[in-house]
Amino acid sequence: MFEILEKKQLNVNTVWMIVKAERVAKSCLPGQFVIVRSHKDAERIPLTICDYDREKGTVTIVFQVVGAGTEIMKELKEGECFADVVGPLGNPSELCSLDKEELKKKKIVFVAGGLGTAPVYCQLKWLHDNGVPADAIVGARTKDIVILEDLMTAATGNLYITTDDGSYGRAGMVTNTLQDLVEKEGKSYDLCVAIGPMIMMKFVAKLTKELNIPTIVSMNPIMVDGTGMCGACRVLVGGEVKFACVDGPEFDGHQVDFENAMKRAQQYKTQEGRAKLALEEGATHHGGCGQCNG
């Protein structure tokens, strides 16, 4: 049973839970995700892992209430259980495979937007536990929706909070802060990891390409089965078809076709759009999601 051990509301639309999932906790690494169901007939919802504790056999998830499935999840209480917590899915962050001593020589900056703060925290904590300092920029529309600030502060070398309206931290977009750090404050970085809304990752990747900073992004397209069977999470990377659930979710940000990914996400919302995608994408569409009559 996947019991909810702890639950708290981070803000009006964001919920944090610690869930008993021993087999996931035993083998997961930063960058991977799980798919959860609140009950046996519920929607399958993919969520990037925010934290894990191997000894306690728990994983931490953070989600926003954006539809019926997450509204039902929000109503679950401590002591109640999820029907399923499947994972770990996807590939771990490539940072986890690097030699620790070589990793310590790298200057890394993370850029998190909104809910992307949760998976960024997981990677920052792993780096911190392995003696690797890293900077982090966290962006939000307003002060009220900044999440996990205390945890992020403890796990990072330097934390820069930005808000679109200037109500907290630095004013403006995360790209403004990243550009200022490099061009005005003398920072230099060997790697940028950006996780958040697709439009944010697009512009971070655009800027880092100009700044000559290699960049990793974590793609979060629509996902159904999480095993590469349905094709819903199809993305173009360097002109090649990839599937975020099995080939990612992390990719070279300078190779991702963000325009295609954003257009596809919009098309996938309607039955007509899904049918058009199936026609356009042919054999690379897969069509096994049950939504395109495939």
The answer to whether 63 and 10 have CB atoms below 8 angstroms apart is no
The pLDDT of residue 88: 93
Q: State whether 207 and 250 are in the same domain.
A: no
Owning domain of residue 204: 108-218
The pLDDT of residue 281: 57
Last residue of a domain, one of 55, 88, 121: 88
The pLDDT of residue 273: 52
Of 117, 121, 226, 110, residue with least CA distance to 178: 110
Q: Per the domain annotation, does 95 fall within a domain?
A: no
Candidate from 130-144, 199-213, 239-253 with smallest mean pLDDT: 239-253
The pLDDT of residue 220: 79
Q: State whether 182 and 160 are in the same domain.
A: yes
The answer to whether 124 and 156 have CB atoms below 8 angstroms apart is yes
The pLDDT of residue 229: 63
Q: Any idea what DSSP says for residue 152?
A: H
Span 65-93, pLDDT tens digits: 888 888 888 899 999 999 989 889 999 99
Q: State whether 178 and 231 are in the same domain.
A: no
Span 26-72, pLDDT tens digits: 999 999 999 998 888 888 888 999 999 999 999 999 998 888 888 88
User: How many domains does one find in the chain?
Assistant: 3
Mean residue pLDDT of the chain comes to 87
Q: Any idea what DSSP says for residue 231?
A: -
| Stretch 235-260: mean pLDDT | 89
Task: Compute how many other C-beta atoms are within 10 angstroms of the C-beta atom of residue 168.
Answer: 16
Q: State whether 135 and 194 are in the same domain.
A: yes
Q: Per the domain annotation, does 117 fall within a domain?
A: yes
| DSSP string over 46-72 | EEE--EEETTTTEEEEEEE--SHHHHH
Q: Per the domain annotation, does 133 fall within a domain?
A: yes
Span 142-179, pLDDT tens digits: 999 999 999 999 998 799 999 998 989 899 999 999 99
Report the alpha-carbon distance of residue 29 to residue 93 in Å, rounded: 8
